[in-house]
Amino acid sequence: MKILVVDDELLARERLLRLLQKLQPSARCWQAADGEQALALIREHNPDLLLLDVRMPGMSGIELAERLDEQDQPPAVIFCTAYDQYALEALQHQAVAYLLKPVREVELARALAGAGRVNRVQLASLAALEGVSADVAAPQPGQRAHLASQSHRGLETMPVAEIRCLLAEQKYVTACSPSAQLLIPDTLKELEREFGDRFLRVHRNALVARAHITRLQRDEDGTWTVVLDGVEHRPVVSRRHLAQVKQRLVES
């Protein structure tokens, strides 16, 4: 990932660059002290993402975002500012997050994961190459394409499209895919709210990916479980959710 940090305060830029080094050690990063310098660096390096202050001398962050909107494929933007009154205006542009200073590491990690979403132009190009429909894999507005977790290895992400189930245990939720498991800081309620069109609640502690359900299975003890392709996890279906789960599967 190529990231440009834009802020008129040197200390603010240095703090964000330190966080990026920790969260995205493989990223290529540049910094700019104002909007004009940022535009020059954008033309030269074509970054994927901007960490952008709002109030700067000369061109403001909002004005810079408006300029970027004119591009065919503008970079994603994470606004980083000490002022919360610009949030609504800022999020009308290419923003994936609006973070208040001092930016917390966990908030930046979550925002970086959201910035990894593929825009529809890129998705259409990939779909043409792979022979699939762009609408099938496209995240809905406001949905992340990846879930993220901060570990000793740095920021780890998992594509939402690869997740088979989300299992809650104690303070964490585990996202399970055929190739990996990832502990994430989100709650099941938050995930259900964001991805309710893709995941089905089968238990108070479990969401399953609708597209990867193979079948419902009743065990000898009468317990119903969900069989998912690619993983051994078989989430239990609670009696409270069983009728609804069966109905949803019939409708799909």
In the block, residue with structure tokens 């109030």: 55
Domains and CATH numbers, the chain: 2-116 (3.40.50.2300), 151-251 (2.40.50.1020)
What is the reported pLDDT for 92?
A: 47
The predicted-structure confidence for 36-83, as pLDDT tens digits, reads as follows 999 999 999 999 899 999 889 999 888 898 888 777 778 888 888 876
Half-sphere exposure of 45 (CA within 13 A, CB side): 21
Q: Could you tell me which residues come within 8 angstroms of residue 186 by beta carbon, excluding any fewer than 6 positions away?
A: 147, 173
Task: Report how far residue 149's alpha carbon sits from residue 154's, in angstroms, rounded to the nearest whole number.
Answer: 8
What is the reported pLDDT for 114?
A: 66
Radius of gyration of the chain (CA): 21
Please give the DSSP secondary-structure letter assigned to residue 139: P
The predicted-structure confidence for 158-185, as pLDDT tens digits, reads as follows 889 999 999 998 778 999 999 999 988 8
Nearest to 243 by CA among 212, 200, 191: 200
Q: Enter the pTM of the model.
A: 0.51
Task: Report how far residue 204's alpha carbon sits from residue 59's, in angstroms, rounded to the nearest whole number.
Answer: 49
